[in-house]
Amino acid sequence: MTNGVSTQAAHRSPSPSRLRWALTSLGAAAALAACGGGGGDDPAPEPEPPAPVATTLSGTAATGAPFAGATLQVTDASGATVCDTTTAADGSFSCTLAPTAARPLVLRAVKEDQMLYSATAAAGDTRANVTPLTTIIAARLAPNGDPSKLAASPQSITADALQAQSSALLAALQPLLTALGLTIDPIAGALTADGTGQDKLLDSISVSVQPSGTAANIEVTVKTIPTSAGAQPEPLKFSSSDATLPTVSTTTVAALAPVPAPSKVADLFARLNACYALPLTQRVDSATSDTTSATGTASNVKAAVCRGLFQNSDPGTFVSNKVGVGRNANNGGAFASMFRSGATGLQWTAGDVEFFRGNGDMIISYKWVDSAGNQDFDLIAAHADADGTLRLVGNSNTYPVTIRPFSEDRDLVNTPAFSYYTTGYNIQIDNRTSNGSPVFSKVVVTPPFGSALTMLPTAGLSYLVIAPDGVTPTGSPVLRLAAAYRNTALSGNPQEKEPGLVYSTPQYTEDQIRMLDNNGVWTIEFFHADTSVANVVQYYRTVRRAETIGEIRNTRVFPDLLPAGRAGMIEETQANGYIWFGTPDTLLIDTNGGDGWTVPVGALAPTSASAFGRAPFGSTTTGQQGLRFNDTASIASTARKVTILCSAQTVNDMHCDAGGQGRYAVGTTINMIELWARSPKQVEVSKKFGSYKLQ
């Protein structure tokens, strides 16, 4: 016999290869009797499968800059969390996965209100990066384009599907990849957040992925040097559900900006931290002690590390909105914080290079946190020296202006059925005065979409407000593009019940909003009350566009009053719709001395609180309502209660008590309180609690 088959049968086999195939497929000796025997022996046992072993999942989370300190969670095909860790300072991470972890895996990295996603179907030890590019891939695989729902649909994550989406995305970016000399694998490829390789691509683009309920709205903007201050960007815009993707233009790639490596940006912020770590008397020579704030000018900045922040190591080169480095008695001045004792220990954390000016200046997002726990996100400008070192630069503007996307949840505590969302832009221009009179007769603001807006000064308000007809001021600086009731079953539109707010006419559709550019450029022209002063024209470029109503519904989480605080507000205001001061007092937002509000997971902690209302009836004109006012207080990000003090805007502002101490005058009314925060990408998030009633 030959291998359990008779010699005669072996000779009849057409070929050895067929014989081997037959034996393999039949299990050979397990199916045939032994040579010359009568059978009856038990078959040989099947070999034991190899025991499952733990595996390693590693990668880098980055947006260009390392996504450091992010909470990273990995979910397996069963829905179980198989890794929960924090990314390192360089964005790297490593997880040891139990043998029971079932592929595919979905990764999520969260920091502040920013979330990045990725996925892998690979078995064994593997690599999976988490970046804006992998977030696009995850969105295009996820139900309704929402990458946060991908873990619940593991069947859509296959090696072929991941490869197909990766290839489509790289094809859309191919002109840029060619210009950078790169060939990359977004998910499994090498990635170090150091400005080389794949990270060089991430540094060169800005990406937003915003789920809207039916699909994700995706924008990829190449960071370029604009041809002029008013030049509009040319981003790629597409939906997660689009079958094909647009391709970045060669014209855009030709204008690619020289984005610095993350290490250069990190160095700038390390020097800022080193400056503010010094005691006040070592920072500026006009300080008499480390505990008493000083005044002074750029020439008083003496610490070498502080002076080295500016071009030519000279703070005198820095001018922003016609204001130089220093601090006056009113706390005015650029980098006035250098002269304040309370700013010692201020921590600066770099975000991303967001965009460039035509002269090569770059705008960088960052976060600051002071020793009291106050924090916020903002933008700063820098320019690279010949050796790549970044130095702080100002601007050529005359007046300060900010224009930011505005996402609002207006919570009407006495008529909750009519609570609603709005989206738009908050146009903040100071209501500047000289000898008690407005400096501006008007300011005309032209957005990168729609028609020009006229903004006018109003007594009692610290900002200019929109006048839709060019003559009659409203009480708001916010241009709302759209609104919708929280209750989707409620017919109509909130604008019908609050016509005093300013909306675009007609309101924008979801598709129209999603097609707006993140980095859109606005034009602002200032007209002076003194007509002998020439008009001033400035430009403002946003970091993000306004969010769609669907994006707000699906992705925005807002702070909320604690139940006892809400009940107290309703009890005090349900009769008249406002808080009325019967005795001079400040406004305390709390609950019986405890916390006044809560910040749910995913919400930005408020950094300011505002009160809106009117001065006492008849205080301005007999028999008429008092003037509108707004008062604001800063909040530490860890705080959950606040006292808002009254602050008069002009000598004719009568809502404050004559006795001072920040108390409101008898008869002053407040009908709305706002908790406000600003995201890392400069989206203003406003939660308002209105006590007025709609019907």
SS3 496: helix
Q: What are the tokens at 317? A: 């080169």
Instruction: Give the whole-angstrom CA distance, residue 218 versus residue 142.
Output: 14
- The per-residue DSSP string of 554-575 comes to HH----EE-HHHHHHHHHHHTT
Max intra-chain CA distance, the chain = 123
Domain borders along the chain are: 55-226+233-240, 262-392, 401-409+419-545, 560-690
pLDDT of the residue at 421? 99
Nearest CA-CA partner of 392 in 341, 326, 334, 344:
334
Non-local (6+) Cβ contacts of 674 within 8 A are 609, 610, 611, 612, 686, 687, 688, 689
CA angle 439/441/447 to nearest 5° reads: 105
C-alpha 189/C-alpha 197 separation (Å) is: 10
- Report the predicted TM-score, pTM, of the whole model to 2 decimal places: 0.88
Specify the pLDDT at position 639.
93
SS (H, E, C) 271-334: HHHHHHHCCHHHHECCCCCCCCCCCEEHHHECCHHHHCCEHHHCHHHCEECCEEEEECCCCCCE
Q: By the 8 A CB rule, do 298 and 338 touch?
A: no
- The whole-number pLDDT of residue 50 equals 72
Q: What is the DSSP letter of 267?
A: H
587 by Cβ neighbours in 10 Å (0-12 / 13-18 / 19+) ranks as buried
Domain covering 55-226+233-240, topology: Immunoglobulin-like (2.60.40)
| CA nearest neighbour of 136 among 162, 155, 154, 175 | 162
Going by C-alpha positions, the residue among 443, 276, 351, 234 that lies closest to residue 678 is 351
Q: What is the pLDDT of residue 41?
A: 59
**CA-CA distance, 73 to 360, in Å (whole number)?**
38
| Successive 10-residue mean pLDDT values, the chain, 695 residues | 39 37 36 42 70 92 96 98 98 97 97 94 97 99 96 97 98 98 98 97 97 96 96 96 97 97 97 99 98 98 99 97 97 97 96 96 96 90 97 97 98 98 98 93 96 93 94 94 97 94 96 97 98 98 98 96 96 96 96 93 94 94 90 92 92 90 97 97 98 95
Cα distance between residue 323 and residue 321, in whole Å: 5
For residue 537, give Cα distances in angstroms to 179, 264, 320, 398, 462.
36, 33, 15, 9, 21
- The helix/strand count (H/E) of the chain reads as 13, 37
Residue 42: the pLDDT is: 64
